[in-house]
């Protein structure tokens, strides 16, 4: 099949509503951080699994690359196509049906293009909780969440996207459909095929639907913004709160003063909830059921003990939904504050939680001699995951900073993370941005197995070419 015939056949499969005209496709061809500007031979939006399967069969026969795209909020350029002649961008946005909610089984079957916030709302309307949550939830999609194994703000309690899925439906590169949507809690019949596609970033197939786990909805949230003595105290406090609340901690987010300052400077609506400035903060939240006054008093008992142990120095506890939102704003809008400041070089790193204090201390000391920079670090400390971001010195443009010192600084951050037994990619994946890091930091055995999996599932190499190990 020659390319132009194949493209015409694909356009016929999806019909006029399924083809995005080149002038409207521009936003889909740029990644959300604007690091990459892509090109595609065609941008299509199939409306069903059957259409998606037909499209892939044609691409497979013609050897055309297929780049799946969800909400295009990914941080690693994974959803950007890079070939104006031989790659098709396949957007899942038209596949946004909630297929089923099973309140007895606590599951929800959704199509891949359902936006995360819509999935949360559907669960809420059924009186249940879908706990995956992150700053991009208004645009990112379930298919993208599963394909990046997204983490977010409640991993400590509920796990990553991988932990929240019971089954998936995938269109394979040849156009076949693997349907594992039984929604069973127990099914040990053979290999866990679903695991291959979770976190594969679209390099093995297109996820078209999933059975998600739902949970009982907590009735009471308690949220506190705490000035802590330091990173070690923050880690001790997370462990204390987990022990003393029966593991009801739903979020434990660390914020450095430097990140808070950026938010206070760049977002007019942001207010420091405490009177005195501190160097280190923890946003701690518990989610519980039962009598709200009992939940509050248990939360206060934990915080009191933490005061006495010297872990906490000052605290603001939210007394209303509005106050809770004002505290969360200080954490969730850090990426936006960094962007308004001119942008940052981002590092999304993970170590065991106990090694976070050493990571921060050594990173500050070891980066200092490598070139002028400003730090902004914050993140999901309860998961051992920090966003360790570097901003150019005041007056220097991000691009110049990236070119001059960015490489050396990034190398030190990742080397140090590796020395401490950590990962250069905690939750954002690899995409195209971190391919070299994968090559550098993964063991030869792990790389060999990843390539073997890729070759077995996608022998013609059509799925998301050039990404991860492709």
Ligand X SMILES: Cc1cc2nc3c(=O)[nH]c(=O)nc-3n(C[C@H](O)[C@H](O)[C@H](O)COP(=O)(O)OP(=O)(O)OC[C@H]3O[C@@H](n4cnc5c(N)ncnc54)[C@H](O)[C@@H]3O)c2cc1C
Query: Interface residues with ligand X (CB under 6 A)?
Result: 32, 67-75, 78-79, 92, 112, 134-136, 140-141, 143-145, 147-148, 150-152, 201-202, 206-207, 335, 427-428, 431, 464, 467
Minimum gap (Å) between residue 80 Cβ and ligand X = 8
Look at residues 404, 277, 396 and name the one whose alpha carbon lies nearest to residue 341.
396
Q: For helices 3-14 and 49-62, what crossing angle results, to 10°? A: 180
> Which residue, 199 or 227, has its beta carbon nearer to ligand X?
199
Minimum gap (Å) between residue 229 Cβ and ligand X = 26
Q: Report the distance separating Cα 379 and Cα 174, nearest Å.
A: 40
Given a contact cutoff of 8 angstroms between Cβ atoms, the answer to whether 325 and 221 are in contact is: no
Paired strand residues for 133: 152
Given a contact cutoff of 8 angstroms between Cβ atoms, the answer to whether 198 and 142 are in contact is: no
Q: What are phi and psi of 69, to 5 degrees?
A: -140, 135
Residues in the chain: 470
Minimum gap (Å) between residue 304 Cβ and ligand X = 30
At 44, is the secondary structure helix, strand, or coil?
strand
> Which residue, 205 or 406, has its beta carbon nearer to ligand X?
205
> Which residue, 269 or 445, has its beta carbon nearer to ligand X?
269
Between CA 26 and CA 34, with CA 28 as vertex, the angle to 5 degrees is 85
Read off the tokens for 387: 């966003």
HEC string for 5-19: HHHHHHHHHHCHHHE
Minimum gap (Å) between residue 16 Cβ and ligand X = 22
> Which residue, 32 or 389, has its beta carbon nearer to ligand X?
32
Paired strand residues for 287: 221
Minimum gap (Å) between residue 161 Cβ and ligand X = 7
> Which residue, 68 or 392, has its beta carbon nearer to ligand X?
68
For residue 46, the 8-state DSSP code is -
Minimum gap (Å) between residue 300 Cβ and ligand X = 28
> Which residue, 155 or 233, has its beta carbon nearer to ligand X?
155
Q: Report the distance separating Cα 11 and Cα 220, nearest Å.
A: 50
> Which residue, 178 or 302, has its beta carbon nearer to ligand X?
178
Minimum gap (Å) between residue 131 Cβ and ligand X = 13
């Amino acid at each position: 099949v020659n390319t132009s015939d194949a493209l015409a056949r694909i356009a016929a499969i999806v019909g006029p509503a399924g083809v995005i005209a080149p002038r409207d496709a521009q936003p889909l061809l740029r990644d959300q951080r604007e690091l990459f500007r892509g090109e595609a031979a065609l941008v299509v939006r199939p409306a069903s699994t059957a259409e998606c399967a037909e499209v892939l069969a044609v691409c497979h026969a013609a050897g055309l690359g297929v780049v799946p795209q969800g909400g295009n909020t990914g941080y690693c350029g994974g959803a950007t196509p890079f070939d104006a002649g031989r790659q098709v961008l396949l957007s899942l946005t038209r596949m946004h049906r909630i297929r089923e909610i099973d309140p007895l089984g606590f599951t929800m079957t959704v199509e891949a293009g359902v936006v995360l916030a819509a999935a949360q709302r559907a669960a809420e309307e059924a009186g249940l909780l879908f706990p995956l949550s992150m700053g991009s939830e208004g645009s990112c999609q379930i298919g993208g969440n599963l394909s990046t194994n997204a983490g977010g703000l409640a991993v400590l309690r509920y796990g990553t996207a991988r932990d929240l899925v019971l089954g998936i439906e995938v269109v394979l590169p040849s156009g076949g459909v693997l349907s594992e949507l039984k929604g069973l809690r127990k099914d040990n019949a053979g290999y866990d095929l679903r695991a291959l596609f979770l976190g594969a970033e679209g390099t093995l197939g297109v996820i078209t639907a999933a059975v998600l786990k739902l949970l009982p909805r907590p009735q009471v949230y308690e949220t506190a913004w705490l000035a802590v003595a330091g990173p070690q105290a923050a880690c001790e406090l997370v462990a204390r709160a987990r022990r003393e609340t029966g593991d009801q901690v739903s979020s434990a987010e660390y914020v450095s003063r430097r990140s808070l300052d950026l938010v206070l400077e760049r977002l007019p609506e942001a207010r420091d909830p405490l009177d005195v400035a501190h160097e280190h903060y923890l946003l701690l939240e518990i989610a519980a059921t039962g009598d709200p006054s009992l939940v509050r008093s248990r939360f206060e008992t934990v915080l009191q003990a933490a005061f006495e142990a010297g872990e906490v120095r000052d605290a603001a506890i939210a007394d209303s939904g509005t106050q809770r939102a004002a505290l969360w704003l200080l954490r969730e809008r850090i990426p936006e504050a960094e962007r308004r400041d001119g942008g940052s070089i981002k590092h999304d790193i993970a170590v065991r939680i106990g090694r976070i204090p050493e990571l921060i201390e050594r990173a500050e000391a070891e980066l200092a001699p490598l070139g002028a920079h400003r730090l902004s670090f914050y993140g999901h400390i309860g998961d051992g995951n920090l966003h360790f971001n570097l901003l150019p010195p005041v007056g220097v443009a991000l691009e110049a900073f990236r070119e001059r010192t960015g490489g050396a600084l990034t190398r030190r951050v990742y080397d140090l993370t590796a020395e401490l037994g950590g990962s250069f990619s905690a939750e954002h994946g690899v995409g195209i941005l971190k391919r070299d890091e994968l090559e550098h930091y993964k063991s030869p055995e792990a790389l060999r197995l990843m390539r073997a999996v890729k070759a077995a599932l996608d022998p013609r190499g059509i799925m998301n070419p050039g990404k991860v190990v492709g």
